[in-house]
Chain A
Amino acid sequence: MTSTTQTVCPSCGGPISDADRFCEACGAELTPTSPTTPAIDTDTEPTIELNPGASAVPGPCRSCGGTIGADGYCETCGTKATKPRDHFSEQPAPWVAGVCDRGIRHSRNEDALAIAADPEPGSRALLVVCDGVSSSLDSDVASLAAARAARDVLVAGHAKGLGTESSRNSAVVARMKAAADAASDAVLENTSPDSPNPASCTFVATVLEDGLLVAGVVGDSRAYWFPDEAEAVALTVDDSWAAELIATGVPRHEAETGPQAHAITRWLGKDAPDHTPRTTSLNVTGPGWLLVCSDGLWNYCSEAAPLADLVRQTAAANGGEPLATSSALVDWANAQGGQDNITVALARI
């Protein structure tokens, strides 16, 4: 959608540019024809280290549990070992966790996740998800840099304003804007100045502090609040053609499955017109699940209510443990087809 040359996907008829490697709508692999696109080396590791200091020895095979050989393939079933960037998880506190996964159809993981939390359950959590636009170059590197930069800004600021509720909210919203700025800068820093296809990504972040929950969004990654005793709430509205159609009265299902469903209207990146996050705030008054996710999950369950049911059931099946639940939700999305990268971050409040 950031490109000017428009053709159609041979698989679903959705719009694609001649530099795309994947159809944004259906995830079908495409053969880029744009002569300015350098050959894609899917084996190139991102320049950002995922777990500094962590051992480089890959764990057991994710497919059969066998040993991974020095050549990067399972010694029993031959499955290619997951690259660290293709699947990783974070759990800064027992009540907050997230999983970021390549999915099935895409050759690399351009989603990113960065989260932070205080140990006290329900106290303070900062969740950021960025979804790299797969038609642009180095989106996997840029999205991770963006998510981490935003998280760091959110963690560092802990201003409480003047103590009143409205000033506290303004302070968090201002921090959210600063976080988006930092994320945008990180994307630009990871884009070569003469890139024909500059890196770009979405942005969604939530700040939970002392009962106040603020969500900010640029693009179509989402945040939801699923209180145990009340109706599920979508905290974000996508910056997408589909959302604009829904606003004009087109049914959600129809809008989100149309050929332009995944065309986003705002993003972070060199060619982004505006990256000010749109924010929503609410006061958390009871227990519930906070979910921040990329479209790799909500593609398969978009409405707040059924998604809340899915999260609650998955949580119940995993003893309410956030990491196991996030991981199970990623597995569920993969079982639905895994057409896109999948990121799920959860906080149990």
Chain B
Amino acid sequence: MAEFSASVYQNEFLPDGGTDVHAIVTVSCSGAGAAGQTGSGDAGEIIIVDTSGSMGADGVRAAGQAAQTALDQILDGVWFAVISGNDRAKLAFPPSPEPVMVRMDQFTRQAAKDAVARFYADGGTAMGTWLRLASRVFATVPSLTQKHAILLTDGENQHESPEVLTATIEAVTGQFQCDCRGVGVAWQVDEVRRIATALLGTVDIIPAPDQLAAEFSSLIQKAMSKGVATADMRVWAPQGAQVLFVRQVAPTVDDLTSRRTEVNALTGAYPTGSWGDESRDYHVAIRLAAKGIGQEQLAARVQLAIGDQVVAQGLVKALWSADEALTTRISPEVAHYTGQTELADAIQEGLAAKAAGDTATATTKLGRAVQLAAQTGNEEATTRLRKVVDIDDQDTGTVRLKRSVEKADEMALDTASTKTTRVKK
């Protein structure tokens, strides 16, 4: 049985007239078990592979091999399907004109492997059609509580307007989770990140096709270890208070604020997807009406809920004090993740400016990113930034844009921009 715990890190002391309370809430899960085997419903997995013409014969062969490796990792008993996508989506397995899924066993696994071996490159790219088909396929098995997909693409979404893709993303949000991977350098990080973020998944670059199999294998293994199908973060704030934001800040930055659904007038629920044995950090900010010196009140109850069951709770408090030694202290956890969030923004904005030819803004933003990465000890980010900029002084954030940059390095910096380092507690 999965066990959850929540810990709160904050400075609860507010000065006279202070209104804003910030806290980092760490939620940890242990004993999650395996997907579809905890008695709380079945698990479903769909592998979506880009088979557009741009993949070419070699690309499609590599993708097929990767899909075969992925199929090996799907646990017996898990419902699954394989979709091949170009400017249309096609159910590659099970072979059926109508949406359908089957349970994994030795026979279906072999049949599916045979089917993906027959992939061939043809046509354009319309990812929205792939997502819609996946949603319909999942819907054929009502017992599924955990629905996860991996999506592989190699190019831009050329055969579908951005508006159609946006509408599709909205339509399938909440239907299933999706980790997205781009192979090569011809795909758009922004576009794929939009899909992954909305569908509570990750995005990353796979520079060369021969790295596909290992990545797919690892993604499926991770999905299979998520024994808790779905959970919500709930944030209660007192009457009259305002929830400024709710962000996941580790392992990646993900702003949940706009995904609120109402539990009751004072409590909002934010989807967090499935959970394995892991720990995630959330940054919650609440604005209260100021109270008198010496008064104490609860600023937020931060809970993790599975269905209607609250499985962990952390209390965020506010205590007004006249003691400046207490009120001016900044929680190291809050400071760390505030820096990491700004780092993610600085990288994305810097790269966007660079792409738009705005060298001055790009230099400033990426310089700030270098500074923040150094300050918050995010060495991975520093390493990735070094491939895009020459660093003169990381303390002041003085950098120069590199004259020639590997496109893959720039994309890797972009996709990894939301990855954070844990604060040392």
Contacts and interface: CB of A to CB of B under 8 A. Distances in A.
Interface stretch (A71-79, A89-97, A147-155): A71-79
Given A64-B239, A76-B239, A77-B239, A31 B297 contact: no
Give the residue among B237, B294, B299, B321 with the most A Cβ atoms within 10 A.
B294
B298 interface: yes
Nearest to A337: B292
B315 interface: yes
Contacts of A11: 322
A158 to B, nearest CB: 43
B293 interface: yes
Given A80-B296, A104-B293, A104-B294, 11 more contacts: A29-B323, A71-B298, A73-B298, A73-B315, A77-B239, A77-B240, A78-B237, A78-B238, A78-B241, A78-B297, A107-B294
Interface in A85-124: 104-107
Interface of A: 11, 28-31, 64, 69, 71, 73-80, 104-107
Contacts of A105: 293-294
B313 interface: yes
Contact of A29 (B292, B296, B301, B322): B322
B296 A104 contact: no
Contacts of A78: 237-238, 241, 288, 297-299
Contacts of B323: 29-31
A315 to B, nearest CB: 28
B294 A29 contact: yes
Interface residues of B, number: 24
Nearest to A71: B315
Contacts of B315: 71, 73
B325 A31 contact: yes
A77 B291 CA distance: 12
Nearest to B296: A80
Interface in B282-312: 288, 292-299, 301
Nearest to A70: B313
B294 A106 contact: yes
Contacts of B236: 75
Given A11-B322, A28-B322, A64-B239, A77 B297 contact: yes
B353 interface: no
Contacts of B241: 78
Contacts of A69: 301
Interface string B217-248: 00000000000000000001111110000000
B298 A74 contact: yes
17 contacts: A28-B322, A30-B323, A31-B325, A71-B301, A73-B315, A75-B236, A75-B266, A76-B238, A76-B239, A77-B238, A77-B240, A78-B297, A78-B298, A79-B297, A80-B296, A105-B294, A106-B294
Nearest to B292: A104
B263 to A, nearest CB: 13
A31 B322 CA distance: 11
A188 B68 CA distance: 79
Contacts of B237: 78
What 7 A-B pairs are tightest by C-beta distance, nearest first? A78-B238, A78-B298, A73-B298, A78-B297, A105-B294, A80-B296, A77-B238
Nearest to B297: A78
B399 to A, nearest CB: 43
A12 to B, nearest CB: 11
A75 B238 CA distance: 7
A105 B16 CA distance: 13
A77 B298 CA distance: 8
Contacts of A75: 236, 266
A64 B295 CA distance: 15
Contacts of A31: 323, 325-326
A341 to B, nearest CB: 12
Contacts of B297: 73, 77-80
Contacts of A73: 297-298, 301, 315
A80 B238 contact: no
Interface in B16-48: none
Contacts of B292: 104
Contacts of B299: 78
Given A71-B301, A78-B238, A104 B325 contact: no
Nearest to B301: A71
Nearest to B293: A105
